[in-house]
């Protein structure tokens, strides 16, 4: 109890006793930016509650929405690992904290589910202790949490989930990242078909070497997309949202992928590809009305083969993880 009082006294006066945060789903890669580009959407997302407790140490007391799949042990759970890594960095591992995790999006969905939990875990604890670190400073801790789930180190889900907007990662090891401008009429239609793809499997089918011509094309598209965002040039965005590296190899994991793509483009999408490792797919669109039409068209393509799906229509979420109460 002595250590707890000492640590609590160190915290800023306005630190809450309990905090509930929401961390949004994200679309990683955005077609041409494998592992280096991602954006956040408004929903779905995960919620994490953190509250101070008299018993020293971090404990996860409740998990909902996970069908019993997630470990309750904090050191094995993405949200717990992220929070523990943060507390260790701050020398506060003895602080008593109870955590609840409310999963509101499916696993293996390509929507950045484990990144959202990791971000929410680190952000909730940081808020609970009076916000000693900025959002950007939380990035390495959230990354450690996510990496504990999929074993890979890429910030294209964690970055936008934490900061919001469209995030470009120059270097995943250095975590050198930048938020890109978001054209005001840019919308996303994201559709999650009811199948599960393990990120590990989707990464495993990619070759370690890529033909130079493909690399050149992909760099051109990535540069073009960034220019298009900066200049609000929807034509340039549309010409750039193409993936010649991961999509041709991963599409076979997603039933009706090309039918869905054709339907999206016919309905007016600027571009269409796989969200992260899939199976979710996304389309960038100009305007809400087009995004709704495109979302409906993609959904109908999956429904044609009796594949249930959920459609999310969203502007780019510019706030990222946030406190809900």
- Least Å distance, CB 110 to ligand HSE, is 7
In the bound state with ligand HSE, the residue whose beta carbon lies nearer, of 29 and 309, is 29
- Least Å distance, CB 212 to ligand HSE, is 21
- Least Å distance, CB 276 to ligand HSE, is 4
Q: Hey, is 107 helix, strand or coil? A: coil
- Least Å distance, CB 142 to ligand HSE, is 13
Q: Which of 242, 246, 230 is nearest to 186 (CA)?
A: 230
In the bound state with ligand HSE, the residue whose beta carbon lies nearer, of 226 and 267, is 226
Report how many helices (DSSP H) and strands (DSSP E) the chain contains, helices first.
11, 11
Based on the number of CB atoms within 10 Å of its own CB, is 151 exposed (0-12), middle (13-18) or buried (19 or more)? exposed
Q: Which residues of the chain form contacts with ligand HSE (CB under 6 A)? A: 28-29, 34-35, 154, 156-157, 199, 202-203, 246, 276-277
Q: Hey, is 43 helix, strand or coil? A: strand
What lies within 8 Å, CB to CB, of 208 at 6+ separation is none
In the bound state with ligand HSE, the residue whose beta carbon lies nearer, of 27 and 125, is 27
In the bound state with ligand HSE, the residue whose beta carbon lies nearer, of 70 and 99, is 70
Phi, psi angle pair for 321, to nearest 5°: -60, 145
In the bound state with ligand HSE, the residue whose beta carbon lies nearer, of 35 and 66, is 35
Pairing of strands 58-64, 97-102: parallel
């Amino acid at each position: 109890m002595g250590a707890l009082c000492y640590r609590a006294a160190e915290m800023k006066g306005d630190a809450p006793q309990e905090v509930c945060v929401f961390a949004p789903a994200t679309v990683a890669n955005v077609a041409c930016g494998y592992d280096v580009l991602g954006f956040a959407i408004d929903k779905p997302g995960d919620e994490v509650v953190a509250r101070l407790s008299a018993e020293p140490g971090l404990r996860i007391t409740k998990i909902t929405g996970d069908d019993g799949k997630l470990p309750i042990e904090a050191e094995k759970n993405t949200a717990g690992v992220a929070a523990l890594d943060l507390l260790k960095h701050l020398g506060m591992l003895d602080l008593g904290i109870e955590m609840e995790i409310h999963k509101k999006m499916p696993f293996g969905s390509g929507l950045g589910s484990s990144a959202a939990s990791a971000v929410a875990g680190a952000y909730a604890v940081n808020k609970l202790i009076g916000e000693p670190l900025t959002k950007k400073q939380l990035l390495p801790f959230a990354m450690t949490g996510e990496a504990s789930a999929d074993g890979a180190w890429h910030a294209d889900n964690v970055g936008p989930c934490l900061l919001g907007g469209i995030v470009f990662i120059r270097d995943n090891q250095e975590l050198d990242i930048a938020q890109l401008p978001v054209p005001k009429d840019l919308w996303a239609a994201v559709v999650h078909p009811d199948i599960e793809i393990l990120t590990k499997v989707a990464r495993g089918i990619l070759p370690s070497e890529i033909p130079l011509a493909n690399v050149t094309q992909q760099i051109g598209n990535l540069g073009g997309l960034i220019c298009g965002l900066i200049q609000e040039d929807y034509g340039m965005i549309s010409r750039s949202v193409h993936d010649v590296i991961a999509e041709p190899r991963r599409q076979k994991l997603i039933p009706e992928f090309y039918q869905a793509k054709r339907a999206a483009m016919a309905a007016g999408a600027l571009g269409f590809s796989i969200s992260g490792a899939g199976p979710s797919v996304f389309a960038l669109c100009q305007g809400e009305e087009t995004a709704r039409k495109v979302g409906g068209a993609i959904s109908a393509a999956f429904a044609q083969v009796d594949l249930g799906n959920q459609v999310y229509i969203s502007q780019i979420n510019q706030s990222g993880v946030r406190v809900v109460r």
